[in-house]
Structure 1
């Protein structure tokens, strides 16, 4: 009786939970738990709470206490959504570190970390999943009402559904409908995922009888010989494999799709369309018996030995040295030891390309995670990582937020890439640096790989903070590409340049095409023409929201702003002076593609930039076409520089190197070297030396010489001297504050006030405020304050705490009205 009384007493405890809300608030809010829910409360579970007068949110339990908040009366939570926690303790520790390090709030980290389906709120939009056939007989009354309403009105908010059902808490109902695949979360509407489907062919069981089959052949050979070939090819294929797709049958038999269709209509063959895995076909054979080269074997041993001394190691391997094969061997080792592995890639384009290679080794135990997946897919990956079904995760920067339980290795491929840095919204984190902290938390090893490492990583390896391994020869003995620098000024003078293509580049393109080889052309600007200018009055169309010129896109016939997305019709008459003499200046990838089609009408030309790869499968379609030689020339922005590996590409053309070299940024030389070296590395990767043509107005530039000599160490030494002199990373840490306001006059006073307050604490470490390169974006004027802090003898946690206090104090003044202050730690 006493034990029962104690249990009842425990159930009647008054519990409070501190929760993380997906909002920009500085302190976590505390709620009260109804007695009947005491037994369900756990850290990491989602709860439904009311915040403010009427807004409903999904929050995460961060802490359980019996202590009521001192300053306000705690509201009751409305519901608990999960049977098991969806966020683990390690993730909460990671979120806290990110918020502290990057000077943001933990709610902003939660917003970035969780797929939107896991954080439903009042204004979240819901729509029906059009790819799911709903069996209405399985729906309960409330689900039926919601489906009916969504068929009448394609999109409803959570608040609309609450009004429809006449109840406040609808999150549990929507959670179940989401899990049944009935609804979609509207944040992902634009890029709706379509399952990969294939048509599979089977022979009518009647013809398993030999006599029936002979009779069929005798009829088909007389009346439809192509159909007879198809049936024969089916029988031959069926001896080797369990399933036969329609495409495989067409290829093996040489019959047309019409011939196969005829057999299906005669019911000789049956066709069934099936959804197949995005990652691997169930019957694919896994290949893991590749041989490492002697250089790779040495590097692998050095990495394994290095990990006994250091937890973080930099692998500096030249392009095409076979770094991916080393990653595979290390991943295999970790998976065999029962550990999870995170393989980070900077671009979704690389993710889709490399997963095709990795799937052969890890089959269904590999998950893929990036922002182009819709919410249903991302939640599915989240759950499979949480339950340990996925041992390997391949993903872009957001995959650092997944709920790993036993992480053993993190591979950060192309660790130098700027794509690892999130610029907007907060948290403005760098996934490479976050991965190093994550590795430390889990006691996992971190391998940073690059042919052109970031200065910071090379500095840390040079000083012994990281381990260091080099791989200096290309796999298979392939030579480094031959690089030729061509002066645009010289060719213009001699009149040997055609449009934007020098005679050297055109000759090499013609030679490659004649040999049935492929060409990649790099121009680091998208669009058709960056500027339209009036020849009479020099008028240039500008964005109405930002201080930038509009870029002309021929495909849409409109002028586009690449900062805010504003578009307007391209003028035929100058709105300033009425002149019709409007001229296009500069050129982007769209113009490169257009002019190549005129110069090489028989070549198959494609373009890879943000405009052609907006759809989820846009990258993959272009890469597949290049791999299967349906493209002769691919023109693209820096997307083409990143990790692509195609046997047929022998010529690379860099159309204008100057746009990389003449950029006002302390990292300009480092970035230019990285891009030029990475683009060059796409040439001649399997069995044949490639050719790279660099077109420039400044052929004697130091960085171009370093690229030709493949001399990263010389670049590093010269850059380090300059950075030490001018107080830049890796010797100093940078923190930037952007202050934004719609009135430039008010902004001036706000920025000056903030800079003055910061100088009281940090003296001449505070620089500015100054206008950035683009001083107005989306109608907000911007001023930037830069702070430089030496690495030795200063406590960065104290520095950041002081910056938080200054911003908080500023936000309490009347002067701050209408302004936005955005801190950015390690901004470049």
Structure 2
């Protein structure tokens, strides 16, 4: 009897696809198996089996599964598939989008298009090539082999080569083919073993006779027997690497090869995991203060009635120490822990601290790892059932946990937990709570400045609430000074990025042997270039934004699409040599600080300095060790990093945070400033740390709450505003984006959507509007907003929105086929 499989593909499609399971593969397939299937005319993709059945799917031709990988063992577990379905339903995307984001690329074999010269092609007047086509043909002819599109683009410097393949194919100039490409390469180590069976003493005697008169070979043979334990009858021989044998016997490779030539030993390769931390725990979980011990007890009590508990602890109150005790409790019960952090930078410090307590039970997972490394971690979690703790960023929620017992979300307020592009646009904090519920696990949310939504749920009893209101070791909260930059400039006390007060504060800290942090949430050298004569501002050709000047590469850069342009001193509008860079970014602040404090080493932490895999770790180590005493950075420096000697912090242009056109701008400003201030004064010392907040709006309520370290006052102020204007947590927001290359069609589609949705949802629909950045990568953007009741079924909302989308396609709405429509649920 034939069997049929419903296969999920890593494509933005809303359904699974039916395939027949070949008879010879039927025994080696199960739900969660990885299979390679044909899709379309020539493409092959890796899919995941979602279900199996003996019932034929329908009256249509069913293709066969081409290949079952991993001997049919499931690489995705049933709870994961259920979790993927929940994310697709709630965040209004396809399960294929979730699959693509969840599984490392190294586990997704796909067919890749290759192009080669047609041996029969001869150019003729009717088959003449354009200059672009001629370059492609020349590259293929020179290579004398088939090339991928990426290879051709690299050789020719052309972009969008795929668009030229069709015309070349019609002219008979090229042949295209598909090839399955696997991107995962397992790590293998070379091992050596005796060729005789275990316990064959006669054969071993012959081996020693064969090396008689060759002392180094005899020494290597003795070392191998000792390392492998082959002379012990009560146990099987251990595996021995060639490297270990060389070190023990103190011989070179030719000596071991000589043994192989005599038939005494043989070589073989063994697959190993790239992440085998051999270090043993060096310390126990730290001793808790009285306040920490009370908080720990309250967390356990809270979990009796609540699955989710919020730990509201001021900065440097010792939340990480509490986490370690909770991790120990869960590991002792034989379960796994997921420890989520918002930034890769945090994993560096945290991993070192956690590994000292839990040794090789600690795994780390984030996007700076290669595909091979991520696949190794995935496979290790599949293969090993031992309790462990995974430290990772938002993508860690997709790992194949077997027995999850606790999820810790550190800095739970952080917007980095929200994926913006591409789909699925999920919030890892909220998704982790659903994941924990599926595993019967508990959740601990930790923050000094909890998200307003989170604190409201804790205050109203949906979550448990535990407070930790004092800093560890009697350290004092820093003093916050609000500096009016308008007044400072009028007095002549400010001629650069820092006011005289901020400079004096940093000077004092440096003279006391302390360090200082300067925070500005803008990378690059200058945020804008302007002609001083006519006001012309260079803008990106593909995006509706001004270009940022980066001095390190002497170029103007678009921070949306990455395009680079040369900085031209002569204005293209008025033809005068009057283009100047204005404003401050991290590069310029770093340069100014280095000039002010010439003898003090300065480090900079932003996206540009942390692009490489070890970038975060290097900078954190440099500042933590005191090699750098001044640190300039963007929001990366605000996120829970623990620096012992910071005595001063300066916040440049705080108004840029407050004045963002977003209902969360006050919350984001309060959180960011409070968090960066929390890096100061984390250890008890003789003097109180000082934080200088530079602003033109010192009377803003947000700054007054920051100045008083008054989170509860800010929460009460903010929640009243949210309730008055029906914003979260009192409603659920959904942003609907329409993108099109034609601005007129984008407007028409957006209006059609608004009209249709208002008939279905009434005044819950607002817009359409042109967003602040109205064009990105040559696509014009229009936005609608829906305010939905919190109790509403997102699955039902999804069905309605999907029917509207399909309806527009069926009625032939102008431009809809070439438009991009997507949804952002709970935008940050």
Provide the TM-score with structure 1 as the length reference.
0.81
| Map of 1:394 onto structure 2 | 391
CA distance in 1, matches of 2:666, 2:700: 10
CA distance in 2, matches of 1:338, 1:524: 43
| Map of 1:496 onto structure 2 | 493
> Does the alignment pair 1:371 with 2:343?
no
| Map of 1:53 onto structure 2 | 41
SS at match of 1:423: coil
Task: State the 1:72 CA deviation.
Answer: 2.2
Task: State the 1:94 CA deviation.
Answer: 0.3
> Does the alignment pair 1:327 with 2:323?
yes
1:681-692 superposed matches below 5 A:
681-688=678-685, 689-692=688-691
1:723-742 superposed matches below 5 A:
723-742=722-741
* Correspondent of 1:595 among 592, 596, 621: 592
> Does the alignment pair 1:822 with 2:822?
yes
CA distance in 2, matches of 1:118, 1:285: 32
* Correspondent of 1:512 among 506, 509, 513: 509
Cα distance, 1:672–1:153 mapped onto 2, change above 3 Å: farther
CA contact 2:312–2:467 (8 Å) conserved in 1: yes
CA distance in 1, matches of 2:110, 2:751: 38
| Map of 1:142 onto structure 2 | none
CA contact 1:280–1:363 (8 Å) conserved in 2: no
CA contact 2:339–2:410 (8 Å) conserved in 1: yes
Task: State the 1:789 CA deviation.
Answer: 1.2
| Map of 1:457 onto structure 2 | 454
> Does the alignment pair 1:582 with 2:542?
no
CA contact 2:107–2:184 (8 Å) conserved in 1: no
| Map of 1:232 onto structure 2 | none
Deviations 1:123-145 (A, max 9, x none): 399xxxxxxxxxxxxxxxxxxxx
| Map of 1:628 onto structure 2 | 625
Which deviates more from structure 2 when the two are superposed, residues 718-727 or residues 806-815?
806-815
* Correspondent of 2:12 among 14, 24, 46: 24
> Does the alignment pair 1:95 with 2:84?
yes
Which deviates more from structure 2 when the two are superposed, residues 581-590 or residues 445-454?
581-590
| Map of 1:106 onto structure 2 | 95
1:123-142 superposed matches below 5 A:
123=112
CA distance in 1, matches of 2:292, 2:530: 54
> Does the alignment pair 1:69 with 2:57?
yes
> Does the alignment pair 1:385 with 2:381?
yes
* Correspondent of 1:542 among 539, 548, 562: 539
Cα distance, 1:176–1:456 mapped onto 2, change above 3 Å: closer
| Map of 2:782 onto structure 1 | 783
Deviations 1:296-349 (A, max 9, x none): 000000000111111001100000000001011000000000000000000001
CA contact 2:334–2:386 (8 Å) conserved in 1: no
Provide the TM-score with structure 2 as the length reference.
0.81
CA contact 1:522–1:654 (8 Å) conserved in 2: yes
1:407-806 superposed matches below 5 A:
407-688=404-685, 689-792=688-791, 794-806=792-804
SS at match of 1:408: strand
1:240-251 superposed matches below 5 A:
none
CA RMSD, aligned part only?
A: 2.4
Which deviates more from structure 2 when the two are superposed, residues 387-396 or residues 105-114?
387-396
Cα distance, 1:538–1:27 mapped onto 2, change above 3 Å: same
CA contact 1:181–1:376 (8 Å) conserved in 2: no
Cα distance, 1:154–1:615 mapped onto 2, change above 3 Å: farther
Cα distance, 1:627–1:279 mapped onto 2, change above 3 Å: farther
CA contact 1:123–1:159 (8 Å) conserved in 2: no
SS at match of 2:818: coil
CA contact 2:11–2:96 (8 Å) conserved in 1: yes
CA contact 2:279–2:359 (8 Å) conserved in 1: no
CA distance in 1, matches of 2:25, 2:297: 54
| Map of 1:272 onto structure 2 | none
Cα distance, 1:796–1:177 mapped onto 2, change above 3 Å: closer
Cα distance, 1:489–1:159 mapped onto 2, change above 3 Å: closer
CA contact 1:531–1:552 (8 Å) conserved in 2: yes
CA contact 2:187–2:274 (8 Å) conserved in 1: no
| Map of 1:352 onto structure 2 | 348
Cα distance, 1:721–1:557 mapped onto 2, change above 3 Å: same
CA distance in 2, matches of 1:74, 1:348: 45
| Map of 2:293 onto structure 1 | 297
> Does the alignment pair 1:34 with 2:22?
yes
In structure 2, the gaps of 5 or more residues are: 115-142, 153-175, 191-243, 245-271
Deviations 1:80-134 (A, max 9, x none): 0012111000000000111111111111100000000101211399xxxxxxxxx
Number of aligned residue pairs: give it: 691
SS at match of 2:111: coil
SS at match of 1:803: helix
Task: State the 1:153 CA deviation.
Answer: 9.1
Deviations 1:256-282 (A, max 9, x none): xxxxxxxxxxxxxxxxxxxx9998963
CA distance in 1, matches of 2:83, 2:146: 38
* Correspondent of 1:338 among 310, 313, 334: 334
Cα distance, 1:279–1:697 mapped onto 2, change above 3 Å: farther
Cα distance, 1:368–1:443 mapped onto 2, change above 3 Å: same
CA distance in 2, matches of 1:625, 1:795: 50
| Map of 2:104 onto structure 1 | 115
CA distance in 1, matches of 2:690, 2:274: 35
SS at match of 2:405: strand
CA contact 2:274–2:373 (8 Å) conserved in 1: no
| Map of 1:270 onto structure 2 | none
| Map of 1:231 onto structure 2 | none
SS at match of 2:445: strand
| Map of 2:278 onto structure 1 | 282
Deviations 1:623-677 (A, max 9, x none): 0100111101100001000011111111111111111111111001100000010
CA contact 1:279–1:359 (8 Å) conserved in 2: no
CA distance in 1, matches of 2:188, 2:273: 19
SS at match of 1:122: strand
Which deviates more from structure 2 when the two are superposed, residues 67-76 or residues 674-683?
67-76
CA contact 1:529–1:588 (8 Å) conserved in 2: yes
CA distance in 2, matches of 1:391, 1:764: 49
Task: State the 1:797 CA deviation.
Answer: 2.8
| Map of 1:317 onto structure 2 | 313
SS at match of 1:817: helix
Cα distance, 1:565–1:282 mapped onto 2, change above 3 Å: same
CA distance in 2, matches of 1:277, 1:744: 51
Which deviates more from structure 2 when the two are superposed, residues 460-469 or residues 67-76?
67-76
CA contact 1:755–1:785 (8 Å) conserved in 2: yes
CA distance in 2, matches of 1:277, 1:608: 32
CA contact 1:650–1:683 (8 Å) conserved in 2: yes
